[in-house]
């Protein structure tokens, strides 16, 4: 293998695929990036077996990308190759296998020789495209991820809850995440009628969000074992989580007894100030609502207390006092990313729903906290 390549082009590709690589991989080859050099294309691959990212670098007629002198392949430890490419002070970098898998990486005036791994020792990853596929606008895909993954569980006790459940039927896609204390749901219309029920690791979706191009569409291909996301010359493939996702539809109230309409920023700021006071490290915030005022407060025997009157547009319903995790409500409002919200209540000990005034296709549900003061 021997090729010359633009530093900018190779560095961007290496950083992209490295997102799939775990620092403590049990397989030595998976701590590296697989480089495959063909006459008119370079393919870079990174994987931790759960998520795999592959990007292709193709020749560009408008500017120099790469020249191939000899085809070949090798695997080089990700942390070394990325750091070497970043430090080389040259616009063009030379790669060449000089002995077995010993690879020379050079650019004036520096030269490095790094022990690689033979490409044949890299695990075989099936990148075949599933037959069921469709497209989603990139902005919508980013919104799905940002407005759901934060609510997934970070505990492995119930693995199914560490993912986001995607259910497609009758031209509608419903995406749900929950950790049993909060729930995030996003509904979008699809241009095609597909039927599937899969759960995607939230961590994999977070990596997808970082890579999605700002414009255009994301092509998605689904099977019962994996899901693929295509954007540009990059493919992200992730395994699915086995098991049946719990029925969350019954958790969302259908009727509400009271509604608060408030500026999202005012609510965020009030919760942020109240959350400074914690009980056993947990920010429990109390919201007291009447026809005349809304009061946000917090109290701790060890620290003290805070009380703040909240400016709001409208409150409809009987007087209500409810306590909740400040972090959960803060996250829910922040990820809705909207100027004004409505918070709908059923009672002081039943889940309440937070929605955008502009888009009711996204629902954030929070379970209240029982307090005794």
Distance CA 277, CA 297 (A): 10
Q: Where do the structural domains in the chain lie, given as residue ranges?
A: 2-121, 132-249, 252-366
Q: What angle do CA 70, 75, 77 make, to 5 degrees?
A: 130
Could you tell me which residues come within 8 angstroms of residue 300 by beta carbon, excluding any fewer than 6 positions away?
A: 277, 278, 279
Fold agreement between 132-249 and 252-366: no
Q: How far is CA 102 from CA 3, 75, 123, 362, in A?
A: 15, 10, 20, 52
Residue/partner pairs of 345-350 with CB below 8 Å, 24 or more apart: 345/256, 345/257, 345/258, 345/259, 345/260, 345/317, 345/320, 346/253, 346/255, 346/256, 346/257, 347/257, 347/320, 348/320, 348/321, 348/322, 350/253
Task: For the chain, give the number of residues.
Answer: 373
Instruction: Count other Cβ atoms within 10 Å, centred on residue 213.
Output: 11
* pLDDT beneath 50, residues of the chain: none
Domain at 2-121, CATH homologous superfamily: DNA Polymerase III, subunit A, domain 2 (3.10.150.10)
Structure tokens that stand for 190 in this block: 């699809």
Specify the pLDDT at position 363.
96
| Residue carrying structure tokens 């120099």 | 64
Architecture of the CATH domain 132-249:
Roll (3.10)
The count of C-alpha atoms lying within 13 angstroms of the C-alpha of 146, restricted to the half-sphere facing its C-beta, is 14
Give the sign of the dihedral formed by CA 18, CA 177, CA 181, CA 272: positive
Give the sign of the dihedral formed by CA 298, CA 300, CA 301, CA 304: negative
What are the strands, taking DSSP E only, across 190-289?
196-201, 217-222, 226-231, 234-239, 258-263, 284-289
Specify the pLDDT at position 102.
96
Range list of H helices, the chain? 7-18, 78-87, 138-146, 202-211, 264-274, 326-336
User: Dihedral through CA 212, CA 215, CA 220, CA 226, nearest 10?
Assistant: 0
Specify the pLDDT at position 276.
87
Instruction: Count other Cβ atoms within 10 Å, centred on residue 267.
Output: 24
| Residue carrying structure tokens 């996702």 | 245
Q: pTM for the full model?
A: 0.93
Distance CA 26, CA 115 (A): 19
Looking at every residue in the chain, the average pLDDT score rounds to: 94
Specify the pLDDT at position 372.
61
Q: Which CATH number fits domain 252-366: 3.40.50.970, 3.40.50.360, 3.70.10.10, 3.20.20.210?
A: 3.70.10.10
Q: What is the pLDDT of residues 145-201, one digit of tens each?
A: 999 999 999 988 899 999 999 999 999 999 999 999 999 999 999 988 899 999 999
Contact 37, 68 (CB under 8 A): yes
Distance CA 248, CA 245 (A): 8
Distance CA 291, CA 317 (A): 8
Specify the pLDDT at position 280.
75
Q: Which of 115, 118, 69, 119 is nearest to 92 (CA)?
A: 69
Give the sign of the dihedral formed by CA 187, CA 193, CA 199, CA 201: negative
Q: What is the DSSP letter of 117?
A: B
């Amino acid at each position: 293998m021997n090729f010359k390549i633009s530093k900018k082009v190779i560095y961007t590709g290496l950083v992209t695929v490295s997102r799939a690589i775990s620092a403590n991989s049990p397989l030595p080859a998976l701590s590296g990036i697989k480089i495959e050099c063909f006459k008119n294309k370079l393919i870079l691959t990174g994987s931790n077996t759960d998520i795999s990212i592959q990007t292709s670098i193709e020749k560009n007629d408008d500017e120099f990308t790469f020249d191939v002198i000899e085809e070949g392949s090798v695997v080089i430890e990700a942390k070394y190759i990325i750091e070497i490419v970043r430090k080389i002070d040259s616009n063009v970098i030379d790669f060449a296998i000089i002995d077995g898998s010993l690879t020379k990486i050079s650019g004036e005036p520096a030269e490095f020789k790094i022990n690689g791994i033979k490409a044949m020792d890299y695990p075989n990853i099936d990148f075949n495209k599933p037959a069921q596929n469709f497209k989603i606008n990139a902005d919508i895909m980013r919104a799905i991820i940002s407005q759901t993954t934060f609510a997934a569980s970070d505990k492995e006790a119930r693995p199914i809850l560490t993912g986001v459940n995607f259910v497609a039927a009758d031209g509608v896609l419903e995406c749900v995440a929950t950790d049993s204390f909060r729930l995030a749901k996003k509904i979008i219309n699809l241009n095609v009628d597909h039927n599937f029920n899969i759960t995607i690791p939230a961590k994999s979706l977070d990596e997808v969000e970082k890579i999605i191009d700002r414009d255009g569409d994301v092509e998605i291909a689904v099977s019962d074992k994996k899901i693929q996301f295509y954007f540009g010359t990059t493919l992200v493939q992730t395994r699915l989580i086995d098991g049946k996702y719990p029925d969350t539809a019954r958790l969302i109230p259908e009727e509400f007894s009271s509604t608060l309409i408030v500026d999202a920023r005012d609510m965020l700021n009030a919760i942020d100030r109240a959350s400074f006071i914690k009980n056993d490290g947990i920010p429990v915030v109390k919201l007291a609502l009447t026809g005349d005022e809304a009061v946000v407060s917090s109290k701790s025997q060890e620290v003290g207390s805070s009380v703040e009157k909240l400016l709001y547009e409208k409150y409809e319903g009987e007087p209500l006092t409810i306590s909740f995790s400040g972090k959960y409500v803060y996250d829910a409002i922040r990820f809705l990313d909207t100027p004004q919200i409505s918070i709908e209540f059923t009672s002081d000990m039943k889940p309440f729903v937070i929605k955008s005034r502009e888009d009711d296709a996204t629902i954030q549900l929070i379970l209240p906290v029982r307090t005794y003061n």
